[in-house]
Amino acid sequence: MPVSVRGIRVQPNGPGVCGRGVPAWVWASISGAALGLAFPAHPQAPLAGLHQPLWAWVGLVPLLAALRSTACRQAFRLGWIAGAVWALTTLYWVAYTEGGGPAVVGGTGLLAAYLGLFVGLFGLAQSLLLQRWGRPALLAAPVLWVSQEYLLSLGELGFPWLLLGHSQAVLPQVVQYATVTGTYGVSAWVVLLNVLVLLAGAARQRRRCRAGLVLALAVVGVVPWWHGTHAIPPTAAAGPSIRVAVVQPNTDWAHTETTETLDQTLERLATLSRQAVMAAEAPDLIVWPESAVPCYFGLRPACRKRVQSLVDEWGVPLLIGASDYDQERGEPYNAAFLLQPHHGDLQRYAKMHLVPFGERTPFRDRIGLLRQINWAALTGDLGPAEFAPGTERTVFAHPAAPFVVLICFEAVFPELARRGIQAGARLLVNITNDSWFGDSAGPYQHAQLAVMRAVENRTPMVRCASTGLSFFVDAFGRVSGGIPLGTTGVSTHTLAIGHGGTTYTRHGDWLAVLAMVISLVLVLSAWLSGRRRGER
């Protein structure tokens, strides 16, 4: 017969039913949709006004409520549903890539299903702990959640796009402690808010308990805000700085034939760059976006000579995105190059973390069969570029501020930015080509994630995108000098350079690793406790 626990009915060996006969999977879906609303949408989307980071503070409540009285065999399913709905509503724009053919649309569904597995693991672990220790086990939710986020970020299939902490990047006042904990600490804080909201709402019959929980909720919510308002200075501190110009040509390079468009592309980029050079205060560095120069820059002396002549004319160092080629491996690189005025040496960096299936087939170097697959012929519309991953981190030497480059997808990974600062960089530069994602939420989400890299390391960031969004981020996550999506322009801004990083820079994802250890201990203890009781 059904078992009732505070208004939630669970059919033994069957799906949970919450509230007044509402199936548990509905509540899981509501959680997924609410978490999707916590991430930015395109400003002209029908529901754009509803997309606010505050949804993350309560988005997990329906799922956690359903897990309180759900059998483990159903808990994984509920978590998976929540995660898949969340991913699908947030990452729908992936279907636009490569022209939006059937394989890409199908791949978007598979991506959502894959990301849902990690939330499913969270649901399974949380349900196990709840069955063993009851309501207090909800306090383990932040630890369990951070563990699944960290797992999601690892390996060639790593995709930490939907870290809950990323949703809070538009609120600099509440994320400043990321200098110690990284974005995973912000995620833990968000989950703790959800737990306290659920517990406070479930304590209706106990006034004293409810008052204590409401007070705890207020303290947990206010403390990061109080810390942030004191940590962020009202104005930039005096000290070394660098003046940078970003060029946004608003050119779609997704399907460009490099040999036919080089003249037109360089003319467009040069015209915009001259606007910055001819200003009253010239920049110390000009930045062009990912894939800006359509040629194998390291192999084509004529192409390189043309760009070098522009740099010599302006007398300003220029960072560009272009392809390179490894003749020994017979594979291209997605790369960045720094050209100095009247200087023959060329500094370069090859992208190290490539987009799975977009830029390289995962595990192709370990599984020989994968190298033989012609994805374009197999699917009809999907074919990875098969770039070779870079092997060396480059700190570009600039007289005003040494810097590292994060190419496109690399800005999503906290570890890559942190390692660059450890290696001596005092400025982060993110170059990207988001034209693949069309006029969708993709570029807005991508831009927001990049902001957290500046906060974590107390190091400013310059973001230059082919079609937008291009802007500057100071060391506290404040954005300025933006160029809107889908427009042509150039923006110049002066940034105070970083001072060598933070606690997070030095010690990395210690919180996430600690969460993993604690989660394993808790889950193992709960499982062994069940075995001693003879439970299945």
CATH code, 406: 3.60.110.10
- What are 15's two structure tokens? 């799906």
144 contacts 510 by C-beta, under 8 angstroms: no
Distance from chain centroid for Cα 402: 24
Per-residue pLDDT tens digits of the chain, which is 536 residues long: 333 333 333 333 344 455 556 889 999 999 999 999 999 999 998 888 999 999 999 999 999 999 987 888 899 999 999 999 999 999 998 887 756 667 778 888 999 999 999 999 999 999 999 988 888 999 999 999 999 999 999 988 889 999 999 999 999 999 999 999 999 999 999 999 999 999 988 766 567 777 888 888 999 999 999 999 999 998 766 689 999 999 999 987 554 445 567 888 899 999 999 999 998 888 999 999 998 998 888 888 889 999 999 999 999 999 999 999 888 778 889 999 999 999 878 899 999 988 887 777 777 777 766 666 665 555 555 555 678 888 889 999 999 999 999 999 899 999 999 999 999 999 999 999 988 888 889 999 999 988 999 999 999 999 999 998 999 999 999 999 999 999 999 999 999 999 889 999 999 999 999 999 999 999 999 888 766 665 54
Domain assignment present for 235: no
Domain assignment present for 276: yes
**In a 10 Å sphere around its CB, with 0-12 CB exposed, 13-18 middle and 19+ buried, how is residue 367 labelled?**
exposed
Residues 425 and 490 both lie in one domain = yes
Q: Tell me the torsion sign for CA atoms 327, 332, 334, 337.
A: positive
- State the Cα–Cα distance between residues 446 and 466, nearest whole angstrom: 13
CA separation, residue 530 to residues 78, 138, 153, 496 (Å): 22, 18, 31, 56
Residues 189 and 286 both lie in one domain = no
CA separation, residue 262 to residues 265, 273, 293, 387, 431 (Å): 5, 16, 7, 21, 19
**In a 10 Å sphere around its CB, with 0-12 CB exposed, 13-18 middle and 19+ buried, how is residue 101 labelled?**
middle
Residues 245 and 394 both lie in one domain = yes
- Predicted local distance difference test score (pLDDT) of residue 255: 46
- Looking from the CA of 209 toward its CB, the CA atoms found within 13 Å total 11
Residues 347 and 462 both lie in one domain = yes
- State the Cα–Cα distance between residues 69 and 138, nearest whole angstrom: 12
Q: Which of 351, 359, 410, 464 is catalytic?
A: 351
| 290 part of the active site | yes
| 305 part of the active site | no
- Predicted local distance difference test score (pLDDT) of residue 533: 62
Residues 442 and 484 both lie in one domain = yes
Residues 256 and 348 both lie in one domain = yes
- What are 391's two structure tokens? 């092997």
Domain assignment present for 94: yes
**Number of neighbours of residue 235 by Cβ within 10 angstroms:** 5
Residues 205 and 311 both lie in one domain = no
Domain assignment present for 382: no
CA separation, residue 443 to residues 45, 93, 418, 429, 464 (Å): 13, 9, 23, 16, 12
- Furthest-apart CA pair in the chain: how many Å? 83
Residues 208 and 312 both lie in one domain = no
Residues 397 and 430 both lie in one domain = yes
- State the Cα–Cα distance between residues 65 and 85, nearest whole angstrom: 17
Which of 387, 389, 388, 392 is CA-nearest to residue 404? 392
- State the Cα–Cα distance between residues 65 and 8, nearest whole angstrom: 8
Domain assignment present for 363: no
Token pair 């960031």: residue: 461
- Predicted local distance difference test score (pLDDT) of residue 277: 93
Residues 100 and 191 both lie in one domain = yes
- Predicted local distance difference test score (pLDDT) of residue 367: 72
88-123-519 Cα angle (round to 5): 120
pTM above 0.85, yes or no: yes
Residue 283 phi, psi (nearest 5): -80, 160
User: Residue 525: which domain range?
Assistant: 3-230+510-532
- State the Cα–Cα distance between residues 307 and 519, nearest whole angstrom: 53
Q: Which of 408, 410, 456, 464 is catalytic?
A: 408
Beta strands in 258-330 (DSSP E): 285-287, 293-296, 318-326
Domain assignment present for 8: yes
| Strand ranges of the sheet holding 461-465, from the earlier edge strand across to the other edge | 403-407, 427-432, 461-465, 470-473, 479-483
Token pair 């499913």: residue: 120
375 contacts 369 by C-beta, under 8 angstroms: no
Residues 403 and 438 both lie in one domain = yes
Residues 10 and 52 both lie in one domain = yes
Q: Which of 98, 149, 290, 456 is catalytic?
A: 290
What's the number of domains the chain is made of? 2
- Predicted local distance difference test score (pLDDT) of residue 488: 95
**In a 10 Å sphere around its CB, with 0-12 CB exposed, 13-18 middle and 19+ buried, how is residue 412 labelled?**
buried
Give me the amino acid identity at 447: A
Domain assignment present for 195: yes
| 156 part of the active site | no
Give the H/E segment covering residue 225.
helix 207-231
- State the Cα–Cα distance between residues 164 and 146, nearest whole angstrom: 9
CA separation, residue 282 to residues 211, 236, 469 (Å): 59, 20, 22
Domain assignment present for 362: no
- State the Cα–Cα distance between residues 363 and 355, nearest whole angstrom: 12
